[in-house]
Amino acid sequence: MPDDTDLLSAACHCGAVRFQVRLSDGFKTARRCNCSYCRMRGAIAVSAHLDDMQIVEGEENLTLYQFNTGTAKHYFCKICGIYTHHQRRSDPTQFGVNVACLEGVSPFDFTEVPVLEGVRHPSDGRTGSGLAGVLRYTSS
Ligand SMILES: [Zn+2]
């Protein structure tokens, strides 16, 4: 994996959307979420401040999806359908970024990924740790 303090290059599957991102706390922020949308999407997301992400190519190919309160903004490439990033509902100053879009990074590089309790969202008055569980990956 690349150095997670570097400015990282990223793209969707077809390459129409290209962006650069500097992560707010490196790969340590890798998370999944069990909310109704994320459980279907299935991506591992890492965190970046809004200012630390720059779309360098193909912004016109990004499509926005919103649901429920509409606070979170989920972006994906309209050509290949791959989720690139989303503006968080829990912290709108942050983007969640699809780790699988980062150059040189695979979602299977992470042996353990915490799963956040997204069903009972903090904005809905959730209490507790917010951790629903941990996903583990073991290569054969
Ligand atoms: Zn694409």
Q: How many domains does the chain have?
A: 1
pTM beyond 0.85: the answer is yes
Q: How many angstroms separate the alpha carbon of residue 11 from the centre of ligand 1?
A: 8
Please check whether residue 23 lies inside any domain of the structure: yes
**Residue 97: how many other CB atoms lie within 10 Å:** 27
Please check whether residue 3 lies inside any domain of the structure: no
Q: How many angstroms separate the alpha carbon of residue 83 from the centre of ligand 1?
A: 9
Please check whether residue 99 lies inside any domain of the structure: yes
If you search the block for the tokens 């926005």, which residue do you land on? 64
- Which domain does 105 fall in, by range? 8-120+127-133
Q: Residue 76's closest CA among 63, 66, 89?
A: 63
Please check whether residue 49 lies inside any domain of the structure: yes
Please check whether residue 1 lies inside any domain of the structure: no
Please check whether residue 73 lies inside any domain of the structure: yes
Q: How far is CA 72 from CA 8, 30, 91, 93, in A?
A: 23, 18, 9, 11
Q: How many angstroms separate the alpha carbon of residue 70 from the centre of ligand 1?
A: 23
If you search the block for the tokens 């998370």, which residue do you land on? 31
Q: How many angstroms separate the alpha carbon of residue 133 from the centre of ligand 1?
A: 31
CATH number at residue 42: 2.170.150.70
List the pLDDT tens digit at each of the 140 positions of the chain: 899 999 999 999 999 999 999 999 999 999 999 999 999 999 999 999 999 999 999 999 999 999 988 889 999 999 999 999 999 988 899 999 999 999 999 999 999 999 999 876 556 555 567 899 999 999 99
